[in-house]
Each structure stands twice: as structure tokens, then as C-alpha cells.
Amino acid sequence: MNIEYKINMTISIKEITADNWIKAVKLEVRSDQKGFVASNAKSIAQSKFQTFLECYGVYENEQMVGFAATGKNPEDGEIWIARYMIGVQYQGKGLGKKGSQKLVSFLQEKHNCSKIFLDVDPENKAAINLYKSLGFKETGKLQGNSLIFELNL
């Protein structure tokens, strides 16, 4: 008899604060992914000077497993996911998809938005596949060398 065990997984999004920023800084992607996303420390520092950026931890139950930087772009007034990552030790468990779904819901509720944008390095095939599976579509536009994707909610 084959018995399947399921772990009760609760995904949540929590603001990066003085209480959890060190956990965020310690999260890293795989070495082959480092060229695709800025470090969490750099993103947190950037948010202190580009104050439209807001930083969040992605949690599985009470464990921070990922990080996101989002915000309302002052140039176009649109909601953007500027950074998104899942720590190397938590990858391969479906947390990238579950976390990004939760992040989209969180942003939609927080900003009452009908669209969310993000940009992806064209070489980052795993991220492109993830975002396409969530309904993001290529806009045909570039931000620097990155492809811009849009999700209509």
C-alpha cells in the first residue's frame, strides 16, 4: 500500500524589518543564478534610497525561504516585482511558484492593481517558465537587456 504524506504548508509575505533583515541577507541563490538577481543586501540598501521599493520575506510557515522587492514605479505608476528569489536550500520544492502566487495576491490586495510587471534576464529560462506558468506574458519591451513581462489580473 502506497501512503502519501502531505506537509501542511502555509506561505505568507512579511515586511522586512529590523527583526528579520539578517535572515533575508543570509538567503542566497545557487551560484549559477547569481548573475540573474541582485543580492538581498543590495536590494534592502536600495530600498532605503529609492523609497518606492518595499522589501518582503517569503515565508513557509515561520521560516523565511525567499525574498522580494516590489513597488509602485514612480515613472509609470505601475506595480513592479523588482526582485524575487528563493534561497538555494529551499529550491526544488515548489516554493518559488507558491511564493510568487502569494506575492501576486498580496500585491493585488495591497495596491488594488489590475496589472503587475517584472523583468527577467532572457537567459534565466527557469524564471521565464515560472512567470509564464503564472500567466505573465511578454510585452515585447526591454528594460536594459531584460525582457518585460506583464500579468493582467
Specify the CATH number for the domain of residue 50.
Answer: 3.40.630.30
Residue 102's pLDDT is 97
Q: What would the mean pLDDT of 57-82 be, rounded to a whole number?
A: 97
Tell me the residue type at 147: L
How far is the C-alpha of 53 from the C-alpha of 63, rounded, in Å?
Answer: 23
Q: What percent of the chain has pLDDT over 70?
A: 95
How far is the C-alpha of 135 from the C-alpha of 152, rounded, in Å?
Answer: 8
Strands 137-143 and 11-15: unpaired
Q: What is the pTM of this model?
A: 0.92
The H or E element containing residue 22 is helix 21-26
How far is the C-alpha of 44 from the C-alpha of 4, rounded, in Å?
Answer: 40
Per-residue pLDDT tens over the stretch 80-110 = 999 999 999 999 999 999 999 999 999 999 9
The number of distinct structural domains making up the chain is: 1
**Structural contact between residues 52 and 73, judged by C-beta atoms closer than 8 angstroms:** yes
Position 4 in a domain: no
Residue 93's pLDDT is 93
Task: Residue count of the chain, please give it.
Answer: 153
Position 5 in a domain: no
Q: Where residue 123 falls among pLDDT bands split at 50, 70, 90? A: very high
Position 3 in a domain: no
**Structural contact between residues 59 and 11, judged by C-beta atoms closer than 8 angstroms:** yes
Looking at 3-7, 33-37, 146-150, which range is the least confident one?
A: 3-7
Q: Which domain holds residue 145?
A: 11-152
63 has pLDDT over 70 = yes
